[in-house]
Amino acid sequence: MASSSAVGKLSREEFRRQKDLDAARKAGTAPAALDEEGKPINPHIPQYISQAPWYLDTGAPSLSHQRRPTDDRSSNKLDQWYDRGVQSGVAAKKYRRGACENCGAMTHKRQDCLERPRKKGAKYTNRNIAPDEATQHMEVGYDAKRDRWNGYDPAEHKQIYEEYEAVEAERQRLREEEIDKQTTTDMAAVRKVAKAGKAEGKEGDPDFGSSDEEDADEDKYADAADAVGQKMDTKTRITVRNLRIREDTAKYLINLDPSSAYYDPKTRSMRDNPLLNVPPEEARFAGDNFLRYSGEAPEVQELQLFAWQSEARGNDIHLNANPTQGQLLHQAYREKKEELRDTSKVSVLAKYGGEEHLAKPPKELLLGQTEEYVEYSRAGQVIHGKERAATRSKYPEDVYVNNHTSVWGSWYDTGSNTWGYACCHSTVHISYCTGEAGKQAAAASSAQNLLMGSDPQSEDVASKSLEGGGGNKGKQRKTDIDVEEEQSKLAEERKRKGRANEGDDRFSKKSKNEEAAESKKFDMTEDELERYRRERGRMEDPMANYVDGDL
C-alpha cells in the first residue's frame, strides 16, 4: 500500500496487480518497498499513514512526511537574534543614491524607516543623515519567525522581580514607621524592665515584637485585611475573586442616590454605609469598613501584626503555619506588657505622687443617668413619680432679707418708674418689709402726687405767682389760701378712706350717683397725666439743681 501513493489513476489490471503485490509483501513472499534513504517500509502500515498528502507527495514510496523535518534554520536558539540599534560605521555627509529618502541610511527604504518623518527628507536637504545599521542575516524557521519571545533576554525579568521586592519592602517599612510614631509607650523603659526580668531568671520569655501600642492600631494593615468579594494575599499579591450569591441584593442597588457611598465595580466593594440615616447595627449592609472592624476581625489583625513584627525580630512565628503557637505567644506578650505597664505606673506614682487625681466618679454620675420613673400629662404636670429638680446656679437663690417674702425687682411702680418689692410695694432697696400697710401707704402717696400734679387751679395759681413776682402780695396771699384749702380737702379724703376701711356704714351706703361723682372728681385724663410726668420734680436726679456759671 505504500507504493500506491506513487501511482496516479490505475487501470483495472494495474490495480489488481498492485493489490496482489501488497498481499505478497504482507505474506512475506515478496520483498518490502524501500524509501528514498533505502530503508524498508513496513507493509502492515495503514494507508492513511503511509500515503503522503498531495502537497508533500514526491512520487515515490516514502515515510518522510511522518518524520520531523531536519531544517538547519530550526537549530537557532532563543539567544540568537538580531543586534538591535548597532551602527555599522560613521554617518555619511552626503545623500547617496538608493538610500532612504527620509533619514539617508542605506540599509532600508523610506517605507521601512523608523525615524520620525521629516518635513523635508535627507534626499533634498543633505542634513542629519543617519548612519547605516548593522544588518545580520539569520535564517529562521516557521516557528522562530512567529515566536513572540524570540530574542527576549530572561535576565531582564530578574531585574523587574528585584525592583518589585524592594518597593514592597519599603512600603512595609513606611507603614511600620507610621504606626510607631503614634505610640505612646516608652521603648527604652520597656526594654530596660525586660532586661531586668531576664537577669532575674526570666530569659526564657523571648521579646515577642515591639512594646508599642500597635495592638490598639487598626489602620496599619487595613489593606491586608480581606475585603468583601475578594481574597487577597499581601505577600504574593494574588487576588482570587469570590462571586456573590445571586439571590442577594447587589450593593449598588441598596441606595440609588448618585451622591451616596461609592461602589467600586472592579473589586465589588463599597466601603461606606449607603444609608446614612440608618444606624449600622440595624442596616442590612453597613459598608465593608464596618464589617472589617466588627466581630473578631480586629483580633485577627492584631495577631497578624504581632506575628509579622516577631518574625522581623528573629522569632520563628507564622500565623498560618502554627496559629495556636502564635495565639499563645501573643497572649503571653500582652500579659507581660500589662505587668510592665502596672510596674511603671506604680513607680511613677511612688516617685511623684498624684494618685488622688486618677480617681474619677462612676460613669452613671458622669452621664447623669437615673432609673427614677416620672410620668407627665399632656399639660406637663407630673402624674407619677417625682419631678426632676431644677438646675440651680452658683449664686444664692430664694434668700429673702428684712422680713420680705419677694425679691428685689419683683414689682414695678409706673408712677415713679422705679422697681421695688412686690410684698410691700417699697421702692427703697434693702428696706424693712411693711406688708399690706406699706402697700396702702404707697397707694395713698401715689394718689396724693397725682392730685397735686393734676389740679388745674393749683397749676394756674402757681404759674401766676411765678409770673407776678414777689412784689404782688395779694396774689401771693390768694395762692396760700388755695394751697391751704387743697390740703384740707386731702385731709378730709384721708379721713373718709380711713372710716370706710373701719366699716363706717355712712360712706358704704352712698348712692351710685355720689360714688360716680367722687370717682369722677379724682379721675385724670391722659393729657393731665403726661403733663404731670414732664413737670414733676425728680429729686434723685444729680443734675436737677445744676446751674452753669458761664450763662
Q: Which one, of 414, 412, 416, 413, lies nearest residue 537 by Cα?
A: 416
Q: Which stretches of 262-374 are assigned E, i.e. beta strand?
A: none
With cell 535627507, the residue in question is 122
Q: Is 12 left (phi over 0), alpha (psi -120 to 50) or beta?
A: alpha
pLDDT at 519: 56
Q: How far is CA 208 from CA 103, 321, 327, 505, in A?
A: 68, 17, 12, 108
Arithmetic mean of pLDDT over the chain: 75
Specify the 3-state DSSP secondary structure of 241: strand
Lowest-confidence segment of 203-217, 430-444, 536-550 by average pLDDT: 203-217
pLDDT at 392: 75
Residue 212 has pLDDT above 70, yes or no: no
State the Cα–Cα distance between residues 374 and 388, nearest whole angstrom.
8
pLDDT at 250: 85
Residue 445 main-chain phi, psi, to 5 deg: -65, -40
pLDDT at 194: 58
Residue 178 has pLDDT above 90, yes or no: no
Cell of 49: 499513514
Which one has a higher pLDDT value, 197 or 113? Answer: 113
Specify the 3-state DSSP secondary structure of 463: helix
pLDDT at 180: 77
Specify the 3-state DSSP secondary structure of 272: coil
Q: How far is CA 151 from the centre of its chain?
A: 52
State the Cα–Cα distance between residues 378 and 524, nearest whole angstrom.
47
Q: Write the single-letter amino acid at 275.
A: L
Cell of 512: 351710685
Lowest-confidence segment of 174-178, 415-419, 443-447, 497-501 by average pLDDT: 497-501
State the Cα–Cα distance between residues 442 and 217, nearest whole angstrom.
76
Residue 310 has pLDDT above 50, yes or no: yes
Is the C-alpha dihedral spanning 479, 481, 485, 488 positive or negative?
Answer: positive
State the Cα–Cα distance between residues 130 and 135, nearest whole angstrom.
15
DSSP labels, 188-205: HHHHHHHHHHIIIIITTS
Which one has a higher pLDDT value, 537 or 86? Answer: 86
pLDDT band at 113 (very low <50, low <70, confident <90, very high): very high
Per residue, what are the HEC states of 91-109?
CCCCCCCCCCCCCCCCCCC
Taking only the tens place, the pLDDT of each residue in 357-413 is 888 777 767 776 667 788 888 888 888 877 666 777 777 777 888 888 888 888 888
The helices-and-strands tally (H runs, E runs) of the chain is: 16, 6
Residues with Cβ < 8 Å from 475, sequence gap 6 or more?
A: 464, 465, 468
pLDDT at 99: 94
State the Cα–Cα distance between residues 189 and 167, nearest whole angstrom.
33
Over range 311-321, report the average pLDDT. 84
Over range 321-326, report the average pLDDT. 86
Taking only the tens place, the pLDDT of each residue in 373-389 is 888 888 888 888 776 66
Taking only the tens place, the pLDDT of each residue in 221-277 is 444 455 444 455 555 555 555 566 777 788 888 888 888 889 988 888 898 889 888
pLDDT band at 124 (very low <50, low <70, confident <90, very high): very high
Domain ranges within the chain, ordered by starting residue? 2-68, 91-133, 203-347, 404-445, 455-534
State the Cα–Cα distance between residues 135 and 151, nearest whole angstrom.
16
Q: Which one, of 290, 333, 282, lies nearest residue 310 by Cα?
A: 333
Residues with Cβ < 8 Å from 549, sequence gap 6 or more?
A: none
* Number of neighbouring beta carbons within 10 Å of residue 28: 9
Which one has a higher pLDDT value, 518 or 63? Answer: 63
Over range 70-94, report the average pLDDT. 69
Over range 526-541, report the average pLDDT. 72
Which one has a higher pLDDT value, 513 or 413? Answer: 413
The share of the chain scoring above pLDDT 90, in percent, equals 14
Residue 167 has pLDDT above 80, yes or no: yes
Residues with Cβ < 8 Å from 274, sequence gap 6 or more?
A: 251, 254, 255, 260, 261, 285, 287
pLDDT band at 336 (very low <50, low <70, confident <90, very high): very high
State the Cα–Cα distance between residues 64 and 67, nearest whole angstrom.
5
With cell 465595580, the residue in question is 265
With cell 507603614, the residue in question is 175
- CB < 8 Å & 24+ apart, contacts of 178-183: 178/220, 179/212, 179/214, 179/217, 179/219, 179/220, 180/210, 180/212, 180/214, 182/213, 182/217, 183/212, 183/213, 183/214
Residue 168 has pLDDT above 90, yes or no: yes
- Tell the burial category of 107 from Cβ atoms under 10 Å away from its Cβ (0-12, 13-18, 19+): middle
Which one has a higher pLDDT value, 5 or 95? Answer: 95
Residue 524 has pLDDT above 60, yes or no: yes
Q: Which stretches of 135-185 are assigned E, i.e. beta strand?
A: none
